[in-house]
Amino acid sequence: MPVETVDESASERWNRSPIPVILSRIYKEVIVLAKKQKHIPRQAQPAEDKPATLKDMLRPDVLEKLKAQADALKAEEHNRAEEKRKQAEDARKAEQKRLDNDFGHLLESSGMDWR
């Protein structure tokens, strides 16, 4: 441990330590970051004559969530419609199969004269 002299001041001890160098480097980095943030373009403001829309007022992440939810709902509705169409097609095929096995229906729908 170094022996300190009585006449050594606190500022002299401070100047010998690495802390001022570190702090000056941090200060310079903060200044550089602050300058970079000034150059970030802000979102374009809508024209004064146009009223603000909900899309303009929402944050981009919320807007993306809403779009994803809308897409999911559309896909779900499409799946429901496809399932309903498939059920109707299956019902039509089952009815046609039943009628094909019905002799009375075959006689009526036949083009030949069976009398």
pLDDT digits (tens, 9 = 90+) for 13-68: 666 677 777 777 787 777 777 777 665 555 665 556 677 777 777 788 888 888 89
Band of the pLDDT at 93, cuts 50, 70, 90?
A: very high
5 three-state secondary structure: coil
Q: Is the pLDDT of residue 100 over 80?
A: yes
The string of DSSP letters for 67-94 reads HHHHHHHHHHHHHHHHHHHHHHHHHHHH
Q: Each residue of 69-91: pLDDT tens digit?
A: 999 999 999 999 999 999 999 99
Which H or E element spans position 104? helix 103-109
